[in-house]
Amino acid sequence: MELQFLFQTKRNLHTAQIFTLRKAIDNFYYFALILGSPAYLQDEGTWLSWLRIGFDSALVERPPAISREDRMRMETQPEPRQVAIRTESTNKAALDCVEKLVQRIEVIRGSYQGKTSQERLQGLVADPEIDQILLGPLNSALAQHKLRTDEVQRLVGAAQDGLVWATDQDIIGSSVSVTKP
Protein backbone atom coordinates (compact mmCIF):
# COMPACT_ATOMS: atom_id res chain seq x y z
CA MET A 1 0.00 0.00 0.00
CA GLU A 2 1.18 3.51 -0.73
CA LEU A 3 -0.08 6.74 0.85
CA GLN A 4 0.73 10.33 0.03
CA PHE A 5 0.57 12.93 2.77
CA LEU A 6 0.36 16.44 1.35
CA PHE A 7 1.07 19.31 3.73
CA GLN A 8 0.17 22.84 2.62
CA THR A 9 2.39 25.50 4.15
CA LYS A 10 2.43 29.28 4.68
CA ARG A 11 5.88 29.47 3.13
CA ASN A 12 8.60 27.13 1.94
CA LEU A 13 9.66 25.02 4.90
CA HIS A 14 13.32 25.04 5.84
CA THR A 15 15.29 21.81 6.00
CA ALA A 16 14.87 21.25 9.75
CA GLN A 17 11.08 21.57 9.45
CA ILE A 18 11.00 19.07 6.58
CA PHE A 19 13.17 16.62 8.54
CA THR A 20 10.96 16.85 11.64
CA LEU A 21 7.76 16.46 9.60
CA ARG A 22 9.21 13.43 7.85
CA LYS A 23 10.37 11.99 11.18
CA ALA A 24 6.88 12.49 12.65
CA ILE A 25 5.34 10.32 9.91
CA ASP A 26 8.16 7.81 10.29
CA ASN A 27 7.72 7.52 14.06
CA PHE A 28 3.92 7.32 13.77
CA TYR A 29 4.32 4.39 11.40
CA TYR A 30 6.75 2.45 13.58
CA PHE A 31 4.68 3.02 16.71
CA ALA A 32 1.60 1.78 14.83
CA LEU A 33 3.51 -1.20 13.44
CA ILE A 34 4.88 -2.27 16.81
CA LEU A 35 1.57 -1.71 18.63
CA GLY A 36 -0.33 -3.65 15.96
CA SER A 37 1.99 -6.65 15.83
CA PRO A 38 1.98 -9.06 18.81
CA ALA A 39 5.46 -10.35 17.92
CA TYR A 40 6.98 -6.87 18.11
CA LEU A 41 4.72 -5.66 20.90
CA GLN A 42 5.56 -8.47 23.30
CA ASP A 43 9.30 -8.32 22.66
CA GLU A 44 10.94 -5.79 24.96
CA GLY A 45 13.97 -5.95 22.67
CA THR A 46 11.96 -4.16 19.97
CA TRP A 47 11.60 -1.09 22.18
CA LEU A 48 15.19 -1.31 23.47
CA SER A 49 16.63 -1.53 19.95
CA TRP A 50 14.75 1.64 19.00
CA LEU A 51 15.93 3.41 22.14
CA ARG A 52 19.55 2.50 21.34
CA ILE A 53 19.52 4.27 17.97
CA GLY A 54 17.45 7.19 19.25
CA PHE A 55 14.89 9.51 17.73
CA ASP A 56 16.91 12.33 16.21
CA SER A 57 15.04 13.94 13.32
CA ALA A 58 18.06 13.59 11.01
CA LEU A 59 18.24 9.83 11.65
CA VAL A 60 16.89 7.75 8.79
CA GLU A 61 17.59 4.36 10.37
CA ARG A 62 14.55 2.32 11.32
CA PRO A 63 14.18 0.45 14.61
CA PRO A 64 16.68 -2.42 14.23
CA ALA A 65 14.30 -5.11 15.49
CA ILE A 66 11.86 -4.44 12.65
CA SER A 67 12.14 -6.94 9.81
CA ARG A 68 12.99 -5.72 6.33
CA GLU A 69 9.53 -6.78 5.08
CA ASP A 70 7.81 -4.52 7.62
CA ARG A 71 9.91 -1.43 6.98
CA MET A 72 8.31 1.60 5.43
CA ARG A 73 9.80 3.25 2.40
CA MET A 74 9.48 7.01 2.32
CA GLU A 75 10.05 9.71 -0.25
CA THR A 76 9.83 13.42 0.49
CA GLN A 77 9.18 16.03 -2.17
CA PRO A 78 9.27 19.64 -0.98
CA GLU A 79 7.66 22.12 -3.35
CA PRO A 80 6.87 25.79 -2.96
CA ARG A 81 4.32 26.03 -0.15
CA GLN A 82 3.75 22.30 0.14
CA VAL A 83 5.52 19.11 1.10
CA ALA A 84 4.51 15.71 -0.24
CA ILE A 85 5.56 12.64 1.73
CA ARG A 86 4.95 9.33 0.01
CA THR A 87 5.04 6.20 2.12
CA GLU A 88 4.91 2.58 1.07
CA SER A 89 4.62 -0.56 3.18
CA THR A 90 3.20 -4.03 3.02
CA ASN A 91 1.66 -3.41 6.46
CA LYS A 92 -1.66 -1.82 5.56
CA ALA A 93 -2.88 -1.67 9.17
CA ALA A 94 0.08 0.45 10.29
CA LEU A 95 -0.32 2.85 7.35
CA ASP A 96 -4.07 3.06 8.05
CA CYS A 97 -3.26 4.07 11.62
CA VAL A 98 -0.92 6.84 10.44
CA GLU A 99 -3.59 8.01 8.01
CA LYS A 100 -6.18 8.22 10.81
CA LEU A 101 -3.77 10.11 13.04
CA VAL A 102 -2.86 12.69 10.39
CA GLN A 103 -6.53 13.09 9.47
CA ARG A 104 -7.42 13.66 13.14
CA ILE A 105 -4.66 16.25 13.48
CA GLU A 106 -6.16 18.05 10.47
CA VAL A 107 -9.71 17.90 11.85
CA ILE A 108 -8.67 19.60 15.11
CA ARG A 109 -6.26 22.09 13.46
CA GLY A 110 -8.36 25.07 14.61
CA SER A 111 -7.90 24.08 18.25
CA TYR A 112 -4.12 24.40 18.18
CA GLN A 113 -3.35 26.83 15.35
CA GLY A 114 -1.43 29.86 16.62
CA LYS A 115 -0.39 28.20 19.89
CA THR A 116 3.08 27.46 21.22
CA SER A 117 4.57 23.97 20.96
CA GLN A 118 3.77 23.29 24.63
CA GLU A 119 0.18 24.51 24.26
CA ARG A 120 -0.27 22.40 21.12
CA LEU A 121 1.11 19.35 22.90
CA GLN A 122 -1.27 19.80 25.83
CA GLY A 123 -4.25 19.97 23.48
CA LEU A 124 -3.11 17.05 21.33
CA VAL A 125 -2.43 14.81 24.34
CA ALA A 126 -5.88 15.65 25.73
CA ASP A 127 -7.66 14.76 22.48
CA PRO A 128 -9.56 11.48 23.03
CA GLU A 129 -9.12 10.25 19.45
CA ILE A 130 -5.36 10.86 19.43
CA ASP A 131 -5.22 9.08 22.76
CA GLN A 132 -7.19 6.15 21.32
CA ILE A 133 -5.09 5.94 18.14
CA LEU A 134 -1.59 6.42 19.58
CA LEU A 135 -0.92 7.49 23.14
CA GLY A 136 -3.26 5.16 25.06
CA PRO A 137 -2.07 1.99 23.30
CA LEU A 138 1.55 3.13 23.62
CA ASN A 139 1.31 3.75 27.36
CA SER A 140 -0.50 0.43 27.90
CA ALA A 141 2.10 -1.47 25.88
CA LEU A 142 5.05 0.12 27.65
CA ALA A 143 3.52 -0.68 31.06
CA GLN A 144 3.75 -4.40 30.19
CA HIS A 145 7.54 -4.29 30.01
CA LYS A 146 10.26 -3.76 32.59
CA LEU A 147 11.59 -0.62 30.96
CA ARG A 148 13.19 2.05 33.12
CA THR A 149 11.22 5.23 33.71
CA ASP A 150 13.58 7.27 31.53
CA GLU A 151 13.19 4.75 28.68
CA VAL A 152 9.41 5.00 28.84
CA GLN A 153 9.67 8.79 28.92
CA ARG A 154 11.91 8.79 25.82
CA LEU A 155 9.49 6.57 23.88
CA VAL A 156 6.40 8.56 24.89
CA GLY A 157 8.36 11.74 24.24
CA ALA A 158 9.14 10.57 20.70
CA ALA A 159 5.41 10.09 20.05
CA GLN A 160 4.64 13.49 21.54
CA ASP A 161 7.43 15.13 19.52
CA GLY A 162 5.85 13.70 16.38
CA LEU A 163 2.53 15.29 17.30
CA VAL A 164 4.19 18.68 17.81
CA TRP A 165 6.22 18.37 14.59
CA ALA A 166 3.11 17.44 12.56
CA THR A 167 1.41 20.59 13.86
CA ASP A 168 4.20 23.02 12.96
CA GLN A 169 2.87 26.59 12.78
CA ASP A 170 3.89 26.89 9.13
CA ILE A 171 1.61 23.98 8.15
CA ILE A 172 -1.82 25.32 7.25
CA GLY A 173 -3.48 22.14 6.04
CA SER A 174 -2.96 18.50 5.17
CA SER A 175 -4.55 15.74 3.17
CA VAL A 176 -3.94 12.04 2.70
CA SER A 177 -4.54 10.01 -0.41
CA VAL A 178 -4.03 6.37 -1.35
CA THR A 179 -1.76 6.30 -4.37
CA LYS A 180 -1.41 2.51 -4.56
CA PRO A 181 -3.84 0.16 -2.80
What are 58-83's pLDDT values in tens digits? 888 889 999 999 999 999 999 999 99
Give the CA-trace dihedral at 119, 121, 127, 129, to 10 degrees: 150
Domain that includes residue 122, residue range: 2-180
Per the structure, how many domains does the chain have? 1
Report the pLDDT value the prediction gives residue 164, as an integer from 0 to 100: 97
Query: 9 and 157 in contact (C-beta within 8 Å)?
Result: no
Choice among 48-52, 58-62, 111-115, 135-139 with the minimum mean pLDDT: 58-62
Cα 36 to Cα 42, 53, 91, 134, 159: the distances in Å are 11, 21, 10, 11, 15
Its pTM stands at 0.96
